[in-house]
A and B are shown apart, each in its own frame.
Chain A
Amino acid sequence: MNRMSLPEKLSINKYELDEGHPHIVVNTEVCSAVCKTKACLFVCPAGVYSEQEGKIIADWAGCVECGTCKAACPTEALSWEYPRGGFGVIYRYG
C-alpha cells in the first residue's frame, strides 16, 4: 500500500459536519497556565489538535469521536462532547 498522510486517510471517511457547532472547545488559558504534557497533541489518532502561537487549536471536523483526548487531558481544559445527533463521523464499515 502506498503511504498516506493522516489528512488523506481522514478524507476517505464519511462525516456529517455540524457547521457552526463545534463539539470540542479548548480552554487555552488553562492549557497555557497548567498543562505541561499537552498529550492531546500526540495521542489523538485523528490529529485533531495542533499548537499555533502557543495555543492549542482543535480542528474538530476530522474527529472520530473516540474520546482519547478527553481521557488524556490532565487539566479538564477540554470541553468535549459527542456531536449533536446525526452529526460527526459516520462509520460505513466500523
Chain B
Amino acid sequence: MEEKFDVIIVGAGLAGSAAAYRLAQEGLEVVLIERGPYPGAKNLSGGVLYGRVLNDLIPEYWKDAPIERYITNQRVAFITEQAFFNIDFKNQVFSQTPYNAVSVLRGKFDRWLGEKAEEAGAMLVPGIRVDKVLIEDRRAVGVVAGDEDMRADVIIAADGANSFLAQQVGLRGRFETGHLAVGVKELIGLPRETIEERFNLTGDEGVAYGVVGFATRGVAGGGFLYTNKESISVGLVMHLDELIETGVKPAEVIEDFLAHPMVAPLIRGGKLLEYGAHLVPEGGLAMMPRLAMDGMLVTGDAAGLSVNNGFVVRGMDLAIASGVAAAEAVLEAKKKNDFSAQGLSAYQRLMDESFAMKDMRTYAGAPAFMKNDRLYEAYPEMLVSLMTQIYHHDGAPKQHLVPMVMKSIKESKLSLFDLAVDGLKGARSL
C-alpha cells in the first residue's frame, strides 16, 4: 500500500510555499514538489513584492527574508526614442514597516520561503518534475513523476504561468496569445554605493520605474527598472499577440532599451549577472481558469492571477494570497472530510472575499485598455513635444501653454476626441 499524504503541492514558488507553510503549521502532512534543484531556481519576476499579505502570514518577514530594498520611490517614465519624461514620487511613509513594497530576487527569496515551509513541517522535494495529475473517476487523487505515483487528498497546482497541470485536467484550455505577455529581464550588478548615489537612495531605500513608450516599439506592454542591493533588474514585458503580429524581437528590443538615454546612464559600468525570461498571465479576469475540481485547486500564476494597471505590476502578492486561501480551504475540507469541489469551495469564497479577487475585478478592464497603440507612441510623443516646446529656446517667439498643448497634440497625430475617449476609458479601467 503506497503512502498517502494530506496534500501534494506542485511548485515551490510563492503560492506553493505559502500554502505549504500554512498547512504544515496546522500539522497536515504536506509534500511540496519543485522541479528545480531548489525553490526559486525556475522563477523570475520583475520583481517588486507588495508584501502586506506576506506579513500577515509571516509577521515581520523582512527581518529574516532576503529582501533587496524597500521601495520608497515610485517613478513612471514616458519615453520616446530620444527623450524621457519622468514622474517621480517619494513618500517617507513607504519607509515604514511593514514595508509597502520590496524588491526581491526570486532565486533567493523563494528559496527562503521554501525553507520556511520546510521548517514549519512540510516535506520539500526539489529536483522532481511532476508529469501529470493522477485522475481516477474524474477526481484528482495524486501526481505522477517519472515512474512514481504519489497520492493525496488534495493536489494544489502552483506550477506557474504555463500550468500544464491545470490544462491537463481541463480547468483551462489552450492559452490565447492575447492573454499572455513575455517578460524579459537582465540583472545588472553594480556596487551598492554606486546604486545609492546614482538613484539618490539612503541605506536600503529603493526605486521602482515603470516605463511606457518607445521601449516596446509600439507593442502593448512596458519596461521596468528596479533597484536591488547590489544589482538592478531591468526589463520589458510585451503582449504576445502583438509581438507575433509585428515581428518585434524581445531579445533585440531589450538591448536597445539598455542603450536608451534614460537607462544607459543608470546601468553604466554594470556587469550582466543573469539573463532571463518568463511568461506573464496578463489577461486578467478574462483568462482565469476554474479554480477547483474534485481533489484539486489552482493557485498563483497558474490561476492567471496578475494585475497590471500601467503604474503597478503585481503577481507575487496575489500568488501568496491564493496559496493561503487554498490552504484555508483544505483545512475546512479536512474538517468535513470532503475533498470534492464542493468540499473545497471555501477557496473560491475566500478568494472572492480577499483583496486578490477584488483587485482582479477592479482591474478587469485594464488589459483591454492597455491594448491601445496611442499609449506607447502618441502619448509619450505628445508629452515630449510639449516639454520640448516649453524648454527649447531656438529663437522663435514663445507661445502660451494652450497653443503649445494643441501643437503637441497635433504633432503626435492625436485628436481631442482620442484624448477624451482614452481619458474616460483610463479613468474607468485603471
Give residues of chain B (109-139) contacting chain A, Cβ–Cβ below 8 Å. 109-110, 126-129
In whole Å, how far is B311's beta carbon from the nearest beta carbon of chain A? 24
- Cβ of A10 within 8 Å of any chain B Cβ, yes or no, is yes
Stretch from B83-91, B244-252, B365-373, B375-383 forming part of the interface with A:
B244-252
**Shortest Cβ gap from A30 to chain B (Å):** 16
Residues of A within 8 A of B164 (CB): 81-82
Cβ A93 vs Cβ B247 within 8 A: no
A37 CB-CB contact with B under 8 Å: yes
| Known A-B contacts A92-B107, A94-B107; A72 and B276 likewise in contact (beta carbons under 8 Å) | no
- The CA of A66 and the CA of B297, in the complex, are separated in Å by 23
- The answer to whether A90 touches B37, judged by C-beta atoms less than 8 angstroms apart, is yes
B277 engages A94 (CB within 8 Å): no
Q: Are B44 and A91 in contact (CB under 8 A)?
A: yes
Contact partner of B243 (CB less than 8 A), chosen from A13, A43, A47, A86, is: A43
B276 → A minimal CB distance (Å): 5
| Contact flag A1-B267 (CB < 8 Å), given A85-B127, A91-B274 | yes
Task: Say whether B37 contacts A16, CB under 8 Å.
Answer: yes
Q: In residues 245-263 of chain B, which contact A (Cβ within 8 Å)?
A: 247-251, 254-255, 258-259
Interface string of A37-69 (1 = CB under 8 A from B): 101001111110000000000000000111110
Known interface pairs A3-B255, A65-B42, A66-B277; A94-B272 also in contact (CB < 8 Å) = no
| B259 contacts A6, C-beta separation under 8 Å | no
How far, in angstroms, from A43 to B231 measured CA to CA in the complex?
27
Bound-state Cα–Cα, A78 to B35, Å: 21
Complex Cα gap A55–B108 (Å): 40
Cβ–Cβ contact A94 & B44, under 8 A? yes
Are A43 and B250 touching (Cβ within 8 A)? yes
Name the CB-closest residue of A to B234: A1
Residues of B within 8 A of A82 (CB): 35, 42, 129, 164
Cβ of A84 and Cβ of B105 under 8 Å apart? no
- Name the A residues within 8 Å of B248 (CB-CB): 42
Is A89 interfacial (CB-CB < 8 Å)?
Answer: yes
- Write the chain A residue with the least CB distance to B273: A93
A12 vs B423: C-alpha distance in the bound complex, in angstroms?
44
Min CB distance B235 to A, Å, is 10
Q: Could you tell me the distance in whole angstroms from the C-beta of B45 to the nearest C-beta in chain A?
A: 7
Residues of chain B lying within 8 A (CB to CB) of residue A90: 36-37, 41
| A71 engages B175 (CB within 8 Å) | yes
In contact, A94 and B273 (Cβ under 8 angstroms): no
Number of interface residues of B (CB under 8 A): 60
> For the complex, what is the distance from the CA of A8 to the CA of B425, rounded to whole Å?
43
Residue B357 lies at the interface, judged by CB distance under 8 Å to chain A: no
Q: Which of B47, B275, B279 is in CB contact (< 8 Å) with A67?
A: B279
In whole Å, how far is B409's beta carbon from the nearest beta carbon of chain A?
Answer: 34
Say yes or no: is B268 at the interface (Cβ < 8 Å to chain A). Answer: yes
Answer yes or no: A4 CB below 8 A from chain B CBs: yes
Contacts of B57 in A (CB 8 A): none
The complex places the Cα of A88 from the Cα of B36 at a distance, in Å, of 8
B343 interfacial by beta-carbon distance below 8 Å:
no
- Whether B129 lies near A71 (C-beta < 8 A) is no
Closest Cβ of chain B to A65, distance in Å, is 6
Contacts of A12 in B (CB 8 A): 272-275
Q: Which residues of B contact A42 (CB under 8 A)?
A: 243, 247-249
Bound CA–CA A70/B126 (angstroms) = 25
Flag the segment in B73-81, B177-185, B199-207, B412-420 that touches A: B177-185
CB contact list, B262-316 vs A, under 8 A:
264, 267-279
B275, A13: Cβ atoms under 8 Å? yes
A-side contacts of B186, CB under 8 Å: 9
In angstroms, Cα B187 to Cα A6, docked, is: 14
The answer to whether B251 touches A47 (Cβ under 8 A) is yes
Within 8 A of A (CB), among B13-58: 35-37, 40-45, 47
Q: What are 15 pairs between A and B in contact, CB < 8 Å?
A: A12-B275, A16-B37, A39-B243, A42-B249, A43-B250, A45-B277, A64-B275, A68-B182, A85-B126, A85-B128, A86-B37, A93-B106, A93-B274, A94-B47, A94-B107
The 10 A-B residue pairs with the shortest CB-CB distance, nearest first, are A94-B106, A94-B107, A45-B277, A86-B127, A9-B275, A85-B129, A67-B162, A85-B128, A66-B277, A91-B107
Q: Given known contacts A89-B42, A94-B40, what 15 new A-B pairs fall within 8 Å (CB)?
A: A3-B259, A16-B37, A42-B247, A43-B250, A45-B254, A46-B277, A68-B180, A68-B240, A71-B162, A71-B240, A85-B126, A86-B35, A89-B276, A91-B41, A94-B43
